Amino acid sequence: MQEKRLNTKDLKEKAEDLRASERILLSGTVYTARDSAHKRIKEFTDKGKRLPFEINGSVIYYCGPTPAFEGLTIGSCGPTTSNRMDPFTPDLLDMGLCAMIGKGDRGREVYRAIVRNKAVYLCAIGGAGALAAKCIVGCEVIAFDDLGCESIKKLEFKDFPLFVAIDSKGNSLFNT
């Protein structure tokens, strides 16, 4: 199966064309956020505070990268289990988040929110974080530096390999 090359800036408009189980190579800006960052994002939205990045049209990667090795932009950068972010995800999708990257299946409410918002859920290969790091050409902490590896980082992907796990119609790689 041939991979589709996509850029994050085009992902929102192209999400409806993607199908579960398709392989893609993603380039462009992606933000990291895990459990602790999601809790803070929720606190921000509950208080009406501005988020540290524009959520509309954005992609969030559920990961906590390790410090960079010599000669690399970032250390190991593999996905974490996504369903831990399920309590926060429907609200973020309703705010315009167009895609999430992680590993593992999602809950029913997340499926509904993906379909409602014509978004996609993408999976990275677990256990291959050191290899994935080679596809990251930029990394900058933009919020919650005190969270260490769980701070929000702005990453620049270059042909990052992913699978479409849940498409905008609710079809799932996990149900095939």
Structure tokens that stand for 23 in this block? 């392989």
Residue 86 belongs to some domain of the structure:
yes
CB 96 within 8 A of CB 56: yes
Output the domain CATH number for residue 124.
3.20.130.10
Residue 75 belongs to some domain of the structure:
yes
Residue 176 belongs to some domain of the structure:
no
Residue 99 belongs to some domain of the structure:
yes
16-55 residue pLDDT tens: 999 999 999 999 999 999 999 999 999 999 999 999 999 9
Number of folded domains in the chain?
1
Whether this prediction's pTM lies above 0.75 is answered by: yes
What type of residue is 62?
Y
- Is 62 a residue of the active site? no
pLDDT surpassing 80 at residue 10: yes
pLDDT surpassing 90 at residue 8: yes
pLDDT surpassing 80 at residue 110: yes
Strand residues in 4-151 grouped as ranges (E)? 4-7, 23-32, 59-61, 99-102, 120-123, 136-143
For residue 54, the Cα-to-chain-centroid distance in whole angstroms is 14
Which of 11, 26, 31, 38 is an active site residue?
Answer: 38
**Across-strand partners of 155?**
30, 139
Residue 139 belongs to some domain of the structure:
yes
Residue 109 belongs to some domain of the structure:
yes
Residue 151 belongs to some domain of the structure:
yes
Domain range for 85? 4-171
50-98 residue pLDDT tens: 999 999 999 999 998 988 878 789 988 999 999 999 999 999 999 999 9
